[in-house]
Amino acid sequence: MSLNKIGLVAGPLLLIIILSIPHPEIFKPEAWRVIAIAAMMIFWWVTEAVPLAVTAILPMVLLPLFGVSNPTAAAAPFSSPIVYLFFGGFMIALAMEKWDLHRRIALNIVRITGTNANGILLGFMIATAFLSMWISNTATTVMMLPIAVSVIDLLTKGKTEYSQQNIQRFALSMMLLIAYGANIGGTTTIIGTPPNVVFAGIMKTNHNIEVSFAQWIKLGAPFALALLGITYWLIVKVLYKNTLGDFTGGKALIRDELKSLGKPSTGETRTLIIFVATALFWIFRTQINALLPEGTSISDPEIAIWATIALFVVPVNFTKNEFLLSWRDTEKLPWGILLLFGGGLSLAGAMESTGLINLIADQFSGMSQAGFWIVLGLAAVSLFMTEVMSNVALVTILLPVVGGIAVGIGINPLYACIPVTLAASCAFMLPMSTPPNAIVFASGYITIPQMMRAGIVLNLITIVLIALLSQTIIPLIFP
């Protein structure tokens, strides 16, 4: 019997068993029921007994069923403003993909980095990371892979002076840098990867702390830049070094790819304008709000929704009733991720309202001297657990608990939850850890041992980098 079938049966059984046990005195009856619901959800998420989004909607029915909250309170988090922030980000990404704007951006970045083989590798990593800041890691990797394969094929069929070992190392480096670039790039912005959005939602729900787009990018950008630089150095200069030197054919291929796109279309240009305007509004929202009349302001989710509306009303060809996006385009939108956000926030809210978070905090009171090591340990747990389970499900489970632990040891919840969130997006060891890893593995240019060799080293480096971040940049941004 497969693991998911075992989970399908064992999850509800676990729920029933916990509910049948008399609750310990330290728990309220409602809190004990939340633990039972959370246990079932965790079991289903880990075993993937049903689609992740289906597990996420369980709180909507189970919390009212067991008297933890009313239907309105259980369903409200599914329409949280943070959900709409990511919804707007998805819409911008859809428009970029529809009009091939993402492809033009990527090719131009690669074109700038030169004809040297290692320069081409750097260009692919930077292009992948930049796009991953705004569109899904999966979509970015899927788009970059065929371009990368074309470059590798050109190298394989080209000059005979290139040794087979050099070509193999170049191809291997290319695949790893695309996958890792996608994973790391997503940590840069709050909409870059789902765990960041879950983090922002739980901080607001459980601790009434709002983390803005601008605040996140101040810590996400230094982290991503440092990790990207280390990753490039590790892959290209240490683990899988090549001596190919100049590779003019690769430059010509990129130029031909750009030529095939033709001149920027009307849809592409107008999508770019909306994309840039939205990013600027997110980054400078505080300054913009200072200019608005007293009592009025705009939030990051509002900016995202304004951008969404613009994509549906800005015409490409008004006479033909063609706009940047049509509702049919939204069939490609990953609605399941939005349900995951809602379910995670609903469960986190139940943990808060029933006193579970305070109870967790009480267990760690008086341990402030060990705070740094506790946070580092939690980040390490997140980093290695994300290798074997969905990072969205992982942060949904961990962050409410980690926030409670932070309160207990007397530190700002952000100081513990940010490292755990960043760690959850840094799965480098296994093909099944993230979609980008799986996509490049399927190309056939890389083996599991080769990915694990690089991934283990990067995981250890990531823990050190997160430790440095938690002691320097995070306290500066959130004093």
Q: Give the DSSP letter string of 321-355.
A: TEES--GGGGGGS-HHHHHHHHHHHHHHHHHHHTT
**What pTM was estimated for this model as a whole?**
0.84
Q: Is 145 exposed, middle or buried (0-12, 13-18, 19+ CB in 10 A)?
A: buried
Note the pLDDT of residue 139: 82
Note the pLDDT of residue 417: 93
Where helices occur in 191-313 by DSSP H, the ranges are 194-207, 213-232, 248-261, 266-283, 285-291, 300-313
Note the pLDDT of residue 190: 92
Low-confidence ranges of the chain (pLDDT < 70): 1, 155-162, 247-250, 366, 368
Asked whether the beta carbons of 190 and 197 are under 8 A apart, the reply is: yes
Phi and psi at residue 262, to the nearest 5°: 75, -170
List CB contacts of 129: < 8 A, sequence separation 6 or more.
181, 182, 184, 185, 188, 224, 228
Residue 469 lies in a domain: no
The dihedral of CA 165, 166, 169, 174: what is its sign?
negative
Residue 432 lies in a domain: no
Residue 414 lies in a domain: no
**How many structural domains is the chain composed of?**
1
Residue 96 lies in a domain: yes
Residue 474 lies in a domain: no
| 287, 396, 459 from 470: Cα distances, Å | 27, 21, 16
Tokens of 443: 């190309």
pLDDT digit string, tens, across residues 383-416? 888 887 778 888 888 899 899 888 888 889 999 9
Phi and psi at residue 25, to the nearest 5°: -65, -30
pLDDT digit string, tens, across residues 202-234? 998 888 999 999 999 999 999 999 999 999 999
Residue 443 lies in a domain: no
Asked whether the beta carbons of 346 and 63 are under 8 A apart, the reply is: yes
Rounded to 10 degrees, what is the CA torsion of 27, 33, 36, 37?
A: -130
List CB contacts of 12: < 8 A, sequence separation 6 or more.
40
SS3 197: helix
Structural domain of residue 259, as residue ranges? 82-332
Closest CA to 191 of 274, 117, 279: 279
Residue 453 lies in a domain: no
Note the pLDDT of residue 176: 94
Note the pLDDT of residue 249: 67
Query: Residue 427 half-sphere exposure, CB side, CA atoms within 13 Å?
Result: 27
Tokens of 162: 């290139």
The dihedral of CA 445, 381, 83, 341: what is its sign?
positive
Residue 255 lies in a domain: yes
